[in-house]
Amino acid sequence: MALMTGEQYIESIRKMHMQVYMFGKKVESPVDDPILRPSLNSVRMTYDLAQKPEYQDLMTATSNLTGKRVNRFTNIHQSTEDLVKKVKMQRLLGQQTAACFQRCVGMDAFNAVYSTTYEIDQKYGTTYHENFKKFAAYVQENDLTVDGAMTDPKGDRSRAPHAQEDPDLFLRVVERRPDGIVVRGAKAHQTGALNSHEIIIMPTISMGPEDKDYAVSFAVPMDAEGIFMIIGRQSCDTRKLEGSELDVGNAEFGGVEALVVFEDVFVPNDRIFLCGETEFAGMMVERFAGYHRQSYGGCKVGVGDVLIGAAAVAADYNGCAKASHIKDKLIEMTHLNETLYCCGIACSAEGHPTASGNYLIDLLLANVCKQNVTRFPYEIARLAEDIAGGVVVTAPAEADLKDPKLGPYVEKYFKAAPGVSVENRFRILRLIENLTLGTAAVGYRTESLHGAGSPQAQRIMIARQGNLPMKKELAKKIAHVKE
Residue 117 and residue 114: Cα distance in Å, rounded?
6
Examine the domain organization and report whether 266 and 328 are in the same domain: no
Predicted confidence band at 441 (pLDDT cuts at 50, 70, 90)?
low
Q: How many domains does the chain have?
A: 2
Report the pLDDT value the prediction gives residue 426, as an integer from 0 to 100.
Answer: 98
**What share of the chain in percent tops pLDDT 90?**
96
CATH code at position 380: 1.20.140.10
- Range with the poorest average pLDDT among 16-25, 137-146, 147-156, 446-455: 446-455
Number of other residues whose CB lies within 10 A of the CB of residue 26: 10
How does pLDDT run across 264-319, given as a tens digit for each residue? 999 999 999 999 999 999 999 999 999 999 999 999 999 999 999 999 999 999 99
The sign one gets for the Cα dihedral 426, 431, 435, 437 is positive
CATH code at position 246: 2.40.110.10
Examine the domain organization and report whether 365 and 411 are in the same domain: yes
Tell me, yes or no, whether 121 lies in a domain: yes
Examine the domain organization and report whether 57 and 144 are in the same domain: yes
Tell me, yes or no, whether 286 lies in a domain: no
Closest CA to 90 of 255, 296, 253: 296
Tell me, yes or no, whether 309 lies in a domain: yes
Burial tier of 17 (Cβ tally within 10 Å: 0-12, 13-18, 19+): exposed
How does pLDDT run across 449-474, given as a tens digit for each residue? 899 998 999 999 999 999 999 999 99
Examine the domain organization and report whether 175 and 316 are in the same domain: no
Report the pLDDT value the prediction gives residue 442, as an integer from 0 to 100.
Answer: 72
Tell me, yes or no, whether 281 lies in a domain: no
Helix axes 455-465, 281-295, angle to 10 degrees: 110
Tell me, yes or no, whether 153 lies in a domain: yes
Task: Name the DSSP letter for residue 205.
Answer: S
Predicted confidence band at 445 (pLDDT cuts at 50, 70, 90)?
confident
Return left, alpha or beta for 264; rule: phi > 0 is left, psi -120 to 50 is alpha, else beta: left
Examine the domain organization and report whether 79 and 198 are in the same domain: yes
Examine the domain organization and report whether 116 and 189 are in the same domain: yes
Examine the domain organization and report whether 256 and 365 are in the same domain: no
Examine the domain organization and report whether 263 and 339 are in the same domain: no
Residue 62 and residue 69: Cα distance in Å, rounded?
4
Examine the domain organization and report whether 11 and 147 are in the same domain: yes
User: Average pLDDT, stretch 49-71?
Assistant: 97
pTM for this entry = 0.97
222, 238, 272: which is the final residue of a domain? 272
Q: Which helix (H) or strand (E) holds 99?
A: none
Examine the domain organization and report whether 261 and 389 are in the same domain: no
239, 272, 305: which is the final residue of a domain? 272
Task: Name the DSSP letter for residue 78.
Answer: -
Report the pLDDT value the prediction gives residue 256, as an integer from 0 to 100.
Answer: 93
Examine the domain organization and report whether 337 and 218 are in the same domain: no
**Residue range of the domain that includes 231:** 6-272
Tell me, yes or no, whether 190 lies in a domain: yes
Q: Which helix (H) or strand (E) holds 47?
A: helix 37-48
How does pLDDT run across 341-359, given as a tens digit for each residue? 999 999 999 999 999 999 9
Q: Which residues are catalytic?
A: 100, 104, 191, 257, 292, 296, 299, 447
Strand partners, 20: 229
Examine the domain organization and report whether 219 and 311 are in the same domain: no
238, 272, 306: which is the final residue of a domain? 272
Tell me, yes or no, whether 250 lies in a domain: yes
Strand (E) positions, 325-439?
352-353, 359-360
Number of other residues whose CB lies within 10 A of the CB of residue 166: 10
Burial tier of 465 (Cβ tally within 10 Å: 0-12, 13-18, 19+): middle
Residue 64 and residue 115: Cα distance in Å, rounded?
13
Q: Is 262 helix (H, G, I), strand (E, B) or coil?
A: strand
